[in-house]
Structure 1
Amino acid sequence: MNDQNPALTQNIPLNLAGRRFDQVLAELFPDYSRSRLSAWIKSGDALLDGEVVAPRHLVKGGEHITLTAVASQEVPMAPEAIELDIRFQDKDVLVINKPVGLVVHPGAGNPAGTLQNALLHFDPALVEIPRAGIVHRLDKDTSGLMVIARTLRAHTSLVEQLSERAMHRQYEALVMGPMIAGGSVDAPIGRHPKDRVKQAIVEEPAGRPAVTHYRVRERFRAHTLVQCNLETGRTHQIRVHMSHIRHPLVGDTLYGGGVKLPKAATPELAEALRGFKRQALHAERLEFAHPKSGKPVAVEAERPEDMARLIAALREDTRANAPADSARSRR
């Protein structure tokens, strides 16, 4: 496939065998709505091994998908001069460090001022790539690294790496409660049955497989700093999984991360915790195979200032109270 061809191609990973064709398309091409993908299947713009099949057709794994209707934008987009923090750049990919508060895609309540608008201003040619080259997402109030495809060939490669769990994403999270040790959460995630804004642990097939590995980096009196590595990339995955094991993220009011103060917390620490108004989550490291050369690309981003200040305050509180806590534990 050359980069001027508006088609995307993809081989179906073997781990998706037995799934419906429309479900597989939604998994491999998450930039498009299910209704749009279903329409393309019916119109013959989404082919399986060169053939038109029904949306309910069960795939075997290994088949070849050709999606030929991807050049048109689902939503007209206007370029906007929004500054980007670029950490890696060449003709095929960008890696940007997304700041807190920047919405990735336009949507209800956010028709403009998004990362997608910024990318179209930075590189107008991205109008030909699905979602201006964005292949994975971060929540508005999550900071950190995202990779952007600048060609259709790169987009196909990066989406395939995501689906085959070959792209490594590492996060730093500050969670509620003292955590004894690291571990893994293997629990499927799907739309919450009652609250459409939230995700939840939902059994398959309604829920999709989700695996998060975590390890303790630093313990505080009533909080823990953890490293999280994703095998899968479900919406709100770390937030849902940490809440599921009763260690919700600091500041994450959607999933139960209210304010928890250590005993005898100083007014300064109480103010720092109460003033942290977002989920304490940062995408700190991203590793993938370069879509053209195949060589490994690894990029890191330092934690943002608001998280750094809060962690410093918790560290000081733990240090200041260590002698008293040790004395009590010896009695």
Structure 2
Amino acid sequence: MIPIRSNQPNNPNQPTPNPTDKQHMTTYQVEQDAELLAFLLETFQPQQSRSAIKRMLTHKQVYIDGAPVTQHNHPLKKGQTIGIINQKRAKQKTVLRQTNIPVLYEDDAILVIDKPAGMLTIAADDPKADTAYKQLTEYVKVQDRNNRIYIVHRLDRDTSGVMVFAKTPEVKEALQTNWQQSVTDRQYTAVVIGQVAKPQDTITSWLSQNKAMQIYSTPYDNGGKHAVTHYKLIQQNKQYSLLEVDLETGRKNQIRVHMQSIGHPVVGDSKYGGKDNALKRLGLHATTLAFAHPVTQQPLSFTSKVPKAFLNLTK
């Protein structure tokens, strides 16, 4: 959404939401009788689309004289005060009400989330499985039952962090076709077993998949996919190291396989040598994703905090 500018200061004589909401609210004065949706359309178009404006109501961003209103045809009277809670604050409320997945950003083209560990991106076999795709599909259909979302990329079930979904097939195709060119920063945080000797390094190899569907790394070109991983040591103790990992290429299981190849598998990664399960999850988190917006081409960057368990284990 495009940021909203307030036409006038908040009216201290009107009842208001709780103090936290008030800090995130801008206000407008009703100058003539009208219906609420018509007022919002006149105020915010063409900077915002009709569907984006309707989402303000769905997400309970709109207050009239301090009370939340969701009805499109709610009558307005001259002199009333319209308060709009900004999108970030509204998304925090929506997450609690509609989904277990924090929404970092949303507009008409994309939806960016902070995926929890232990959640599949999409079910491979069971259509009833509780996945990010299923929850987010239900989330967007609250706004309009015809809405859909589309998978752009995936995170492993036990990897948490930043993911982006498309809202139309055209946006999905645009993102996937230009993914390598559009993504300017793709950073992960990893907890690996043992003390990494080098404070920073680059791992280069070729990744192939065997008949058991397991990825393996070779230092020479054997016809596999070229993969480049950069890492920097953040902190470590005698048992574990916390790494900041930047992907130059994005291959399947790239970080997990590369960490195994240098003798420091990711904690909790039994598939690739990380039998230590001190975190009770995979020690991999998608911390930052920066890319060009598929429609506007404006640079976007999203960050998810490093899990506290990662920091505590490597102190």
> Quick check: 1:201 aligned with 2:204?
no
CA contact (8 A) 1:103 1:110 kept: no
Partner Cα separation in structure 2 for residue 194 and residue 216 of structure 1: 34
Aligned partners of 2:245 and 2:146: how far apart in 1? 33
- Matched letter for residue 212 of structure 1: T
Number of the residue aligned with 2:115: 98
Q: Letter of the 1:162 partner, please give it.
A: W
**2:136 aligns to what?**
119
SS in 2 for 1:88: strand
1:212 pairs, out of 208, 213, 229, with 229
Please state how far the C-alpha of 1:82 moved relative to its aligned partner.
4.4
Match of 2:194 among 169, 177, 188: 177
1:197-276 equivalent positions in 2, closer than 5 A: 198-201=214-217, 204=221, 206-259=223-276, 274-276=277-279
Partner of 1:311: 311
Amino acid corresponding to residue 116 of structure 1 in structure 2: Y
Matched, 1:150 2:167: yes
Give the paired residue count: 214
RMSD: 2.4
| Alpha-carbon distance in 2 for matches of 1:275, 1:247 | 15
Measure, in 2, the Cα distance between the counterparts of 1:299 and 1:171.
12
Secondary structure of 2:297's match? coil
* Separation (CA, whole Å) in 2 of partners of 1:249 and 1:313: 13
Mark the structure with the bigger radius of gyration.
2
| Partner AA of 1:301 in structure 2 | S
Stretches of structure 1 that go unaligned for 5 or more consecutive residues are 1-80, 260-273, 316-331
Shift of 1:238: 0.5
Q: Is contact 1:126–1:150 with CA below 8 Å preserved after alignment?
A: no
Q: Which amino acid aligns with 1:188?
A: W
- 3-state SS, counterpart of residue 295 of structure 2: coil
**TM-score scaled by structure 2?**
0.62
Distance 1:284 1:227 in 2: 9
User: Which residue is 1:3 aligned to?
Assistant: none
Counterparts of 1:165 and 1:231, CA distance in 2: 13
Decide whether aligned partners of structure 1 residues 280 and 186 sit closer, same or farther in structure 2, where only a CA change above 3 A counts.
Answer: same
Paired residue type of 1:133: Y
Relative distance call for 1:169 and 1:310 in structure 2 (3 A) is closer
In 2: Cα distance, 1:205 partner to 1:179 partner: 27
Partner AA of 1:309 in structure 2? A
Task: String of CA shifts for 1:20-63, please: whole Å, max 9, x gaps.
Answer: xxxxxxxxxxxxxxxxxxxxxxxxxxxxxxxxxxxxxxxxxxxx
Point out the more displaced range, 104-113 or 225-234.
Answer: 104-113
Work out whether residues 175 and 182 of structure 2, in 8 Å CA contact, stay in contact via their aligned partners in 1.
no
Q: Corresponding residue for 1:166?
A: 183
Matches of 2:280 and 2:237 in 1, distance apart? 20
Of residues 284, 298, 302, the one that matches 2:301 is 298
CA distance in 1, matches of 2:187, 2:305: 12
Which structure shows the higher strand fraction? 2
**Aligned equivalents of 2:212, 2:205: Cα separation in 1:** 19
Asked whether the 8 Å contact 2:140–2:147 carries over to 1, the reply is no
Tell me the SS of whatever aligns to 2:225. coil
Cα deviation, 1:95-131, whole Å, max 9, x if unaligned, reads 10000111011113675211111222122479887xx
Q: Read off the aligned partner of 2:217 and give its amino acid letter.
A: I
8 Å Cα contact 2:208/2:225 also seen in 1? yes
What are the ranges of 5 or more consecutive residues in structure 2 without an aligned counterpart? 1-97
Amino acid at match of 1:257: G
% identical equivalent positions: 33
Deviation at 1:236, TM superposition (A): 0.9
Show CA shifts across 1:257-285 (max 9, x none): 123xxxxxxxxxxxxxx542322000011
Give TM-score, length-normalised by structure 1: 0.59
